[in-house]
Structure 1
Amino acid sequence: MNTTSSLVASVVDVRKIYGTHGSVAALDGVSLGIRSGEFTAIMGPSGSGKSTLMHVMAGLDGATSGRVFLGDTEITGMNDAELTVLRRRAVGFIFQAFNLVPTLDVRGNIMLPFDLDGRSVSRDEEQWITHLIQTLGLAQRLAHRPYELSGGQQQRVAIARALATRPKLIFADEPTGNLDSKTGREVLSLLSTASSQYGQSIAMVTHDPIAASHADRVVFLADGKVVADRPRTSAAEISNLMLSMETAA
């Protein structure tokens, strides 16, 4: 693991317990850092704690114990208002549920992070947004509202919104799960470009070995613990490791 200053997010000995009687440890003493400019895939069997880890790292859910950092800032004891401002400035999110604003059209949803932060768009940012819109096939849909779009189109809008401000860190929860294979490949290429060319850090939760094979690093969870941490790995090797983990479970 690199020095703390090169980490855009990290957890130190984090536990997350659900329930009081017969409690379940979704995270059981996890220490992990997301490195600056790196594309990290987080994998594991169903119930391994990967989505919980993402939510805790992003400050969307609190840890039962341990410490959580966004950059050099410890967020463990922050209140909701402080966390909201910090996330808005530094973090982008791609959720399975899209979380689009139903009253805004596609362009309005993509521009929402700028509006919420009360800032105008630079010429360079406008060019990047145009590139996102073209790459994701949304140019003919800018005036449509979410209810007029398919699930795959809504996911593309959510991805464009997350990438639009070029935040230092993007959390992506199964970003290709609702997409056809061609669009999925384009999205993974976009995430790779955001990391390699623009220095953005990507933390992607996925169950798909092909998606994970695009990442610079693959972290495997099982029973709330990190059980493997590998550099870029082929889809076949990832599949074999996942199969052995599920067999062991």
Structure 2
Amino acid sequence: MEIQTSDMGLVARVAQLGKYYGDGERRVTALDDVSIGIRRGQFTAIMGPSGSGKSTLMHVMAGLDTPSEGRVWLGDDEITGLGDAALTKLRRRRIGFVFQAFNLIPTLDVRGNILLPFQLDGSAPTAEEQRRIDALLARLGLQDRVRHRPHELSGGQQQRVAIARALATRPDVIFADEPTGALDSRTGREVLGLLRSAVETSGQSIAMVTHDPIAASHADRILFLADGRIVADHGAMRPEEISSVMLQLERVQA
């Protein structure tokens, strides 16, 4: 009997994953025989030089892209061959997303953006879920901004709304793609602190793609990619240690 992803203490995993673009001599390898899992209740950073495959790995694990070969699971459910409609439903119900560009709906206020995953799923939050959302708004300092639209908020406030939206449905895992890339350093630290807090206080599972050693230093675990392969898997590291590994990878890739 196949060992289940949950038996491994993982919320998501891939096995012998390959992702290619083009054919023949023009084929470009984005991911090459990657087998890795995201651990439950842990903050994982995914790093690597430009073109190493880190964003592609996240997109495949999150069901935003399909693999060329290999298998993908979310929890104990294999999603490798799911169609678009099934994947959309799965992402809406079980995955949270935080992007560099915030991806808020400009015509909705803060509360409307946070409740969007429920509305897209044709449901309304229960009383308990509403209490949790109100607590999130308070914790993120957004309770006085619930009627504001995105253009009335600072970049840091917009990213906090995106984090609240990702946490609102209590998803299996949150995928964050360069979540501090559009923020100044002080606001970026605040956002990373909020993600760290979600892991420590709620047991949330987070996988974050970043190129920033300071951002990655907030993680419990750091995966390093180069040329589409996992080349190192470390526990928590200091920013200067992360920078040293990245510099070595970039020298090799150059």
The interval holding the TM-score normalised by the smaller chain is: over 0.9
Structure 1 residue 190 displacement after superposition: 1.8
CA contact (8 A) 2:14 2:37 kept: yes
Corresponding residue SS for 1:240: helix
Identify which of 7, 11, 22 aligns with 2:10: 7
> Are 2:210 and 1:210 aligned?
no
Structure 1 residue 240 displacement after superposition: 0.6
Residue in structure 2 matched with residue 18 of structure 1 by the alignment: 21
Runs of 4+ in 1 over 4 A off after TM superposition: none
Identify which of 145, 149, 152 aligns with 2:153: 149
Structure 1 residue 136 displacement after superposition: 3.5
Residue in structure 1 matched with residue 248 of structure 2 by the alignment: 244
Normalised by the size of structure 1, how large is the TM-score?
0.92
Correspondences of 1:100-179 after superposition (within 5 Å): 100-179=104-183
Instruction: Give me the whole-angstrom Cα distance separating, in 1, the residues matched to 2:180 and 2:135.
Output: 19
Identify which of 78, 84, 87 aligns with 1:80: 84
Structure 1 residue 243 displacement after superposition: 0.8
Say what the alpha-carbon RMSD is for the aligned residues: 1.9
Structure 1 residue 127 displacement after superposition: 4.0
Letter of the 2:95 partner, please give it.
V
Once the two structures are superposed, residues 112-166 of structure 1 have per-residue CA deviations (whole angstroms, 9 ceiling, x without a partner) of 1122233333454334333433443433432222233344433222122111222
Identify which of 66, 73, 76 aligns with 1:69: 73
List alignment gaps of at least 5 residues for structure 2.
none
CA contact (8 A) 1:42 1:206 kept: yes
State the percentage of identical aligned residues: 67
Instruction: Give me the whole-angstrom Cα distance separating, in 2, the residues matched to 1:164 and 1:72.
Output: 22
Residue in structure 2 matched with residue 43 of structure 1 by the alignment: 47
Aligned residues: 248
Once the two structures are superposed, residues 171-228 of structure 1 have per-residue CA deviations (whole angstroms, 9 ceiling, x without a partner) of 0001111223332222222212222221211000011111111111000001100000
Letter of the 1:28 partner, please give it.
D
Structure 1 residue 7 displacement after superposition: 1.4
Instruction: Give me the whole-angstrom Cα distance separating, in 2, the residues matched to 1:3 and 1:197.
Output: 26
Letter of the 1:14 partner, please give it.
L
Instruction: Give me the whole-angstrom Cα distance separating, in 2, the residues matched to 1:18 and 1:134.
Output: 45
Normalised by the size of structure 2, how large is the TM-score?
0.90
List alignment gaps of at least 5 residues for structure 1.
none
Identify which of 196, 199, 207 aligns with 1:195: 199
> Are 2:101 and 1:97 aligned?
yes
CA contact (8 A) 2:96 2:173 kept: yes
Structure 1 residue 10 displacement after superposition: 0.6
CA contact (8 A) 1:100 1:109 kept: yes
